[in-house]
Chains A and B, each alone.
Chain A
């Protein structure tokens, strides 16, 4: 019931936020903020009882009959892994609302409606354990995001929004076909229709077909992640989206791809995923190095951060295909830390754009003297992103590398080079924006520094990153049990892991 409440809170919060615009245009943002904050209460409760999953697969479950004639049920459940990600979603939801607080001035009600429905869709993706329901949410979260980019985006929004939607929808179709094949095999092998996660774990496909089905799942999730070569939608979507949209995209939506790989692709198709590992590792190394290199060549600050996102998500892919607990923990940690640091960097870029009316690095420079607080905050998050020990990103990337080192020394060594490039671009951006000669354009003469609202948002994220860096066990303990359960999810999965 708790899980349903979280979803309903977001869905109805969105509807009320939209309707409340008729009364007062300042009301929607308060309603939105209130409903997202309210979701934190049940989440805290669940966090308190995460030990419960030692005995069972899930901390808490919710199940209702939905479409019995197709074997579809309304099944929600969380384990430690999904709990962390739902927590991240709620947290970044607050950040996104804060980022939109003054930036969004027109059609406010509809904006917060879309924002909350995106959050609801993402929470649904993280909690659904009926595959039909999962796919339902997977598609549902795209539409409000499309609206956010298409209505409140920047100069080239139509192209970016359409590209985003087409990429994810097309690969979503591949996911659907693979998923239905899986269900079909289940029906043949067990004599009844079911879309339930725990049922589908028992399917044995085998042979060449399993590889194809695995690819259907992999491509859909790798597009969301994104990984080279499915990443080209991301820089466009990010640079055109309003700040809150970028925060949600980078912070939360990308994580659904990684979640899908961990939760579904590997456990459903252990045999062919194992065969696919070299390819996946190669893709992740290419993502890390190539996108870091491309980031260096960008002059648009949001595009630059977008490419670094792809580069960092490469570490997640790396950790997932390391096939051991350390690697997986690294992937989870990177997801959480990158969620915060990318959200903060995009907020900063949005803040700069709001003040300077440009995203071009060439038109910035020497801002430290004008906006010292902003500069310090930017320095903190840049350093976090480049992997400074003591902050969350370091823990995540280090664990990913450690995990993969035992599998492939080459992949680990090459991926580690990415951390060097990361420091190059992070520091380069700092210099280009905040140091050097002052740009004398008019807009920059009266640059205002961060205000209290912005400072408190960044402060929250800083606390989060330091907490992850210094006390990673607060998070890792929660995910550890879930990941252990997951790795013994099906007999075939166990068999494959034992061969390592």
Chain B
């Protein structure tokens, strides 16, 4: 078989308009440079936080404006062959940038008492965010690799961040090494997969992949999926998740659990919504098996956890499984009146991803508000009686936990409802069965958290000392309040978000 390799210009021409489209990336990059210079001049935790937050905020606003223009009818643009700026990328860049601001505010409070270098965490955070937004706007395997590595490299540093005081120092190093070793293997697997796909199709622009029937192509796709599955902590690539969650500092874990996963998931959704790819039987069978395994294993292992971080780790495994159900339904061959079903599935996948990141960030935010780098409220029993000791915080955590369990009045219900609907429209009975069983099992451990919060603290036991809200942690309640209100608002009146997502799905 002869292949023609189109002559690609080594340095594609970039004009001013292209640069303008990449404004969010550039703004965060600028903030990183400014941040580094300011650290060189003088260390000040507050100043570095303001610089990184300002960069993210500017990027978020720029992306929101792009989203507005795209929703008003501007067309999708490729910036060279590397980046694609469409409504999907604009939506998720906005989301990622604003979530990153939330994490930055939380980490400022968390690291406030650390008597060592604190500024670098903000730099790493900006760098990881840049990686994440590169990933969601990538159209080319090269950009995927760059984005993914930028994200992962920064995350190694964030997870290993030296917490000298307290008993957490050794743990964070252990979990960072674990993440580093396994993540490197996953990246290598992905690269191998990309190489195989390139060998079979002759292109690295994955938005334009023509289907090849060569076995090499299938193997390449599966390897690519395996690498992504590692980052999304899907079974059987999930083993690192609970340990890394447990050992890492809370803000780093919050970032990993929300932004880190969202970015990779958007890439997977982009890949699988290529009509030719999703319909490959061999691939979709494997993905379906992974989804079922993730839902069952994640939920079952979460049952016996007494550590909140481990519990959220297993629950995130299950949630990524739910997400895969919606992703699988995108690509399934359209039934009669099929246009209804396929766009529904895509929208439900994006909606689920958005809601999951809000809920998860909110849950970690509540944990961060009661913790600091010295002591973390890690055990579920640390939250006993929280509802009576700190009603507002407990109500927020309650909303997040019930949202993760998919209970009405929260956005989690609408999201799960849509995944159910997508699976029903696609007649995925096996996946639906796993979804029903998984949701029921999931309730059990979410209820345990709820129950602990509702129990009064008996007089004989000494409850976990709640941290005083000082100047440094003033921003965290605001972030949590915003997240809680959004979760409730979307849970009661989801129409605006639906409209936004409909605009963003291609």
The interface of chain A, by Cβ under 8 A from chain B, is 66-70, 107, 132, 136, 139-140, 143, 146-147, 150-151, 158, 161-162, 165-166, 169-170, 173-174, 176-177, 180-181, 183-184, 187-188, 191, 193
Contacts and interface: CB of A to CB of B under 8 A. Distances in A.
12 contacts: A68-B495, A136-B408, A143-B402, A150-B454, A166-B444, A170-B436, A170-B440, A173-B440, A174-B436, A184-B421, A184-B425, A188-B335
Contacts of B407: 139, 143
A150 B444 CA distance: 14
A68 B402 CA distance: 25
A188 B341 CA distance: 10
Contacts of B436: 170, 173-174, 177
Given A68-B495, A166-B440, A191 B337 contact: yes
A70 B413 contact: no
Contacts of A136: 408, 413
Contacts of A169: 439-440, 443
B261 to A, nearest CB: 25
B151 interface: no
B502 A150 contact: no
Interface of B is mostly: helix
B464 interface: no
A187 B337 contact: yes
A189 to B, nearest CB: 10
A174 B435 CA distance: 11
Contact of B408 (A67, A140, A162, A173): A140
B192 interface: no
Contact of B420 (A140, A151, A165, A176): A176
Contacts, number: 71
A274 B443 CA distance: 35
A181 B424 contact: yes
Interface residues of B, number: 31
Interface in B439-455: 439-440, 443-444, 447, 451, 454
Q: Which of A107, A146, A173, A193 has the most CB of B within 10 A?
A: A173
B452 to A, nearest CB: 10
B432 interface: yes
Given A169-B443, A173-B440, A180-B425, 15 more contacts: A66-B495, A67-B493, A68-B495, A69-B502, A70-B498, A136-B408, A139-B408, A140-B408, A162-B447, A165-B447, A174-B436, A176-B420, A177-B420, A184-B421, A187-B337
B439 A173 contact: yes
A109 to B, nearest CB: 11
A180 B443 contact: no
A191 B439 CA distance: 31
Contacts of B417: 132, 176
Contacts of A161: 451
Contacts of B493: 66-67
Interface string B291-310: 00000000000000000000
B336 interface: yes
B340 A193 contact: yes
A69 B454 contact: no
A69 B340 CA distance: 11
B494 interface: yes
B444 A67 contact: no
Q: Which of A146, A162, A177 has the most CB of B within 10 A?
A: A177
B467 to A, nearest CB: 25
A139 to B, nearest CB: 5
Contacts of A66: 493, 495
A150 B336 CA distance: 48
Nearest to B347: A69
A46 B413 CA distance: 33
Contacts of A176: 417, 420
Contacts of A69: 495, 498-499, 502
A162 B444 contact: yes
B409 interface: yes
A219 to B, nearest CB: 12
B388 A107 contact: yes
A139 B337 CA distance: 31
A158 B453 CA distance: 13
Which 5 interchain pairs have the tightest Cβ spacing? A170-B440, A180-B424, A173-B436, A139-B408, A69-B498
A67 B454 contact: no
A161 B420 CA distance: 26
Contacts of B432: 177
